[in-house]
């Protein structure tokens, strides 16, 4: 079962993203390897550098394109650009950030690289500027940044016929004698621009077109306030209320099925938002049973409490932090990997956000 329109709605995504519904079941990295070459074939040891772009085979990796897009927009600072030559594009512009006093980089102006996500019906292409922005605890001025690449060693010599051959290549990364700056790196790849380098070092998430009748393609939460004094949450799988069909038959992003999910409200109100013994970091947790009515009553008061008999949550709007409720679900273990989602509602402003 699937309702793509509802899935897009509860995840806060535009209708234009409908073609990218499916599952990511693998991803492919593209590594930049700089070889530090040791060559004595001329009679004198020479050290020089060469560049190779390596595309390993895809490795298993699971996620849902809709959830990936929503998380990127609402939690990772990506902006919707729309259709481009590379696909439906989200980007995060490069930016400079002065780190606060509590940071190990206190007072330093740190560059955060530009990133982008390009959605097509078969892939999500993730690009980023491959730069080192902090070196030995000091923020780079980025005028000619050091490249973030892997280094290997290579030894050249001559075989029995006098032909120049590779005698040895390191199996693992090395600490090179020098690290290449952007200008030095580009000089080693003639004909390539920095945009070419960025594209050729991208990560590809491979989308598999699957059917909602057999596979999970998105998970989401929604919070409703039927009246000003009540609150209700719903778990959506494939845009369908999980209480209305047998979602346990659906295959998740890493090829397993789920036996159920943990479900709760979390009250975020007061000191618990910054320091707490609660593993969830919340002030108060209200466990819910999947399949049962999730409606609870709300009332303002001087304490934080939940009355299980009357299903009434009392919160304190006078504390420093705004009171908010998170409706949260997490699938029970399947193959050692859990998937989860949530929605957060401010009880004081009424603003609802993805959690």
The pLDDT value given to residue 164: 94
> 3-class SS at 92?
strand
pLDDT at 279: 64
Question: Which pLDDT score is estimated for 282?
Answer: 80
Contact assessment for residue 276 and residue 283, using Cβ atoms and an 8 Å cutoff: yes
Q: What is the structure's pLDDT at 46?
A: 96
Q: Which of 350, 345, 273, 331 is nearest to 64 (CA)?
A: 331
CA distance 20 to 16: 9
User: Domain segments of the chain: what residues?
Assistant: 23-207, 219-354
Mean pLDDT, the chain cut into blocks of 10 residues (355 residues total): 94 97 96 96 95 94 96 97 97 96 91 98 98 96 97 95 94 96 98 97 97 96 88 97 95 92 90 57 88 94 92 89 91 76 92 93
């Amino acid at each position: 079962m699937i309702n793509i329109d509802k899935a897009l709605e509860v995840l806060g995504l535009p209708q234009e993203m409908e073609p990218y519904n499916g599952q990511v079941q693998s991803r492919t990295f593209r590594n930049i390897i700089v070889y530090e070459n040791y060559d004595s074939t001329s009679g004198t040891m020479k050290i020089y550098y060469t560049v190779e772009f390596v595309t390993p085979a895809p490795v298993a990796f699971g996620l849902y394109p809709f959830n990936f897009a929503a998380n990127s927009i609402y939690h990772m600072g990506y902006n919707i650009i729309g259709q481009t030559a590379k696909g439906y594009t989200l980007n995060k512009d490069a930016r400079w950030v002065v780190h606060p006093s509590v940071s190990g980089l206190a007072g330093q102006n740190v560059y955060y690289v530009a990133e982008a996500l390009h959605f097509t019906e078969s892939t999500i292409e993730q690009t980023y500027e491959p730069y080192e922005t902090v070196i030995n605890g000091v923020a780079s001025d980025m005028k000619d940044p050091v490249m973030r690449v892997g280094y290997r060693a290579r030894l050249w010599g001559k075989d029995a016929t006098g032909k120049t051959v590779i005698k040895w290549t390191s199996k693992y990364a090395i600490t090179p004698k020098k690290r290449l700056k952007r200008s030095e790196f580009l000089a080693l790849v003639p004909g390539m621009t920095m945009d070419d380098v960025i594209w050729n070092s991208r990560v590809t998430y491979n989308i598999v077109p699957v059917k909602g009748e057999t596979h999970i393609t998105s998970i989401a939460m929604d919070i409703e306030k039927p009246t000003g004094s009540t609150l209700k949450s719903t778990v959506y799988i494939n845009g369908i209320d999980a209480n209305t069909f047998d979602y346990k038959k659906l295959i998740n992003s890493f090829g397993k099925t789920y036996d159920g999910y943990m479900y709760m409200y979390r009250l975020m109100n007061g000191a618990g938002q910054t320091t707490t013994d609660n593993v969830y970091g919340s002030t108060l947790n209200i466990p819910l049973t999947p399949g049962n009515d999730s409606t609870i009553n709300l009332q303002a008061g001087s304490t934080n409490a939940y009355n299980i008999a009357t299903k009434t949550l009392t919160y304190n709007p006078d504390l420093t932090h705004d009171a908010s409720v998170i409706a949260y679900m997490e699938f029970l273990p399947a193959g050692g990997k859990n998937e989860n989602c949530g929605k957060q509602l401010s009880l004081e402003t009424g603003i609802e956000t993805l959690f």
